[in-house]
Amino acid sequence: DVKVTQSSRYLVKRTGEKVFLECVQDMDHENMFWYRQDPGLGLRLIYFSYDVKMKEKGDIPEGYSVSREKKERFSLILESASTNQTSMYLCASSPGGSPNEKLFFGSGTQLSVL
């Protein structure tokens, strides 16, 4: 069974802090993604990566950056956290290729920025 693990289930940070959200997958997947989920807005893509050290902006990249130094790990970085970044963050991975098929999601990190 594919396992996508997010480092924290709940996280509370203060405005202006630098925040790291970590995601690890154990199935040698090529593609990895970061989404944020807000009530009524669905799942919105922040960034994705289709290879090590490669990254592409999604629909809402402002205020975020990512890092993929190893194939299994994809990190989301909030350079200076703001209250409007309070949200559920979901990491996902998929085997690879195009079209991208069958995402496997992590269990999410609920981030609160105070």
- Shortest Cβ distance from residue 70 to another protein (Å)? 19
What would the DSSP string read from start to end of 23-35? EEESS--SEEEEE
Residue 66: which region, alpha, beta or left (left: phi > 0; alpha: psi -120 to 50)? beta
Please identify which residue in 15, 65, 82, 107 interacts with another protein, judged by CB under 8 A: 107
**Does the protein bind another protein through residue 11 (CB under 8 A)?**
no
Interface residues toward another protein, by CB under 8 A: 31, 33, 35, 40-45, 48, 50, 56, 58-59, 90, 98-103, 105-108
